[in-house]
Amino acid sequence: MDAPLPLDDLPPAPERPGATVPVDARRAVTVLTRELDALLAPLTGQLEAGVPAGS
């Protein structure tokens, strides 16, 4: 499956190590998790419902 993930909500890359890196990393994981969940939720729903592929 090829699908683009919108990454607009990701925090900018840090210019240097600092106190905000853990917060920014947590935000990045949150954004990626949300986008992957939105992308895969229909597929997961089909699998849980036992719907055959291609139907």
Q: SS3 for the chain, per residue?
A: CCCCCCCCCCCCCCCCCCCCHHHHHHHHHHHHHHHHHHHHHHHHHHHHHCCCCCC
Mean of all residue pLDDT scores within the chain: 89
At residue 25 the predicted structure's pLDDT band, cuts being 50, 70 and 90, is: very high
**Span 34-43, pLDDT tens digits:** 999 999 999 8
pLDDT digits (tens, 9 = 90+) for 6-15: 889 999 988 8
How many CA atoms lie within 13 Å of 22's alpha carbon, on the beta-carbon side?
1
| Structure tokens given for 48 | 């849980």
pLDDT of residue 55: 66
Rounded to an integer, the average pLDDT of 12-22 is: 89
Look up the pTM and report it: 0.72
Assigned token pair, 32: 């990626």
